[in-house]
Amino acid sequence: MSESDTSFAATRGGGQADFRGRTLVVADDSALFRRFLTRAVSLLGCAAEPVEDRSALATLLERSVPDGVILDWNFDGEPSRDILADLSRRGVPVLVVTGDPEGLAGVEVPLLVKPVHLADLERRLTELWTHP
Amino acid sequence: MTTAVFTEDDLREMVLRLAHEIRNPLATIKSAAQLLEHLQPPDDELADYYTSIYAEVTRIDSVIRDLQRYARLDVQTARAVSVDDVVATAVDGVTASDRAAVGRVEVVGGPATQVLIDPTQLEIALAEILKNALRLSEDAAPVGVSWEHRDHSLVAIAVDDSGPGVSDKVREKMFRPFFSTSTQGTGLGLNIVAKTCELAGGSLTFENLQPTGARFTLVIPRV
């Protein structure tokens, strides 16, 4: 059985979360990963707004308030602590994405760990919007 | 006279940066392959190739992660933490990443104890020993975790497996960096565990059990 058979089970069978009508910003400086996440969240029904750097994120946040942000922890060359604090002040739920959770020891944030499984993404978003 | 071009800090920073630059694209490869498999469910032959992609990416990622852990050993943030909590977190982490391990770790427990150590480093160390023990125990046999006070200032956390034990020849070298009897991994795992214990002011010990099995014991200062 391949690795994704079970991890994607939730999205193949019943029980798929319906996030239609929600807008989620995907802030990651890796073009390929941003593309993957954008597609993945759209499979869950979200409207995805990909942003590639800090300036694009700031511009987008001036324009509108999204329902959530998936934020790369090492975004645009530096840790995202300041962005996290800013989004928290604005009351925007954030899911921090990282391939190195051990590097975030002591940082209390909802985490999405790379490589990202669709089922895990679905679970984390459900938690984020159920218990922000 | 020779002059070092790089300081230890430079090298550590270089390893951490390199690890980040390698692990990120690896994660993208694996995530993208999983999405592709989801969008276009493969036949059996292609599913085998997907499985190979996941396995190889995971293997490279494990090697790089070990180097990252090694580079972080000197950056410890010690605080008082309960042995119960650290053991529970380590067991949860191991069973979450390996479903075959679910129900195989028997936490026998021990006296309520707090230790002074970087909790993340101790969780990583315990998880490493647990994974080794699960791999070595045959026929899905359980692995036991227990702890006891030793002297007036230490706690000894023991992980017992029911594997074949370790020969004298391997025993001499097994805590050395880059020594491994497995074709997988870097051979840094046990060395990282030993250094984690030593940096906290303790030690890692090993003994063969009779008639079979082995015990690794992490000895750590308690609060």
Q: What is the ipTM for the molecules in this complex?
A: 0.78
pLDDT given for residue A132 in this prediction: 58
Mean per-residue pLDDT, B120-133 = 93
Contact B54 A7 (CB under 8 A): no
User: Which residues of B fall below an 8 Å CB-CB distance to A?
Assistant: 19-20, 23-28, 30-35, 37-38, 42, 47-48, 50-51, 54, 57, 68-69, 72, 77, 118-120, 124
Is residue A1 pLDDT above 60, yes or no? no
Tell me if A39 and B28 make a contact (CB, 8 A cut-off).
no
- Report pLDDT digits (tens) over A2-41: 444 344 434 444 446 678 899 999 999 999 999 999 999 9
d(CA A49, CA B60): 32
User: Could you report the per-residue pLDDT of A78-126, keeping only the tens digit for each?
Assistant: 899 999 999 999 999 999 999 988 888 777 889 999 999 888 999 999 9
CA distance to partner chain B, nearest, from residue A62 (Å)? 29
Q: Tell me what pLDDT residue A27 has.
A: 97
DSSP string, B97-149: H-GGGTTTEEEEE-S--EEEE-HHHHHHHHHHHHHHHHHHSGGG--EEEEEEE
Contacts of B19 in chain A (CB under 8 A): 100
Q: What gap in Å lies between CA B167 and CA B10, rounded to an integer?
A: 38
CB contact under 8 A, B51 and A3: yes
Q: Where does the pLDDT of residue B136 fall: very low under 50, low under 70, confident under 90, or very high at 90 and above? A: confident
**CA quadruple A65, A100, A125, A76: dihedral, nearest 10:** 20
How many whole angstroms separate alpha carbon B159 and alpha carbon A85? 41
Give the tokens for residue B167.
């020969």
Size of interface A-B (CB pairs under 8 A): 85
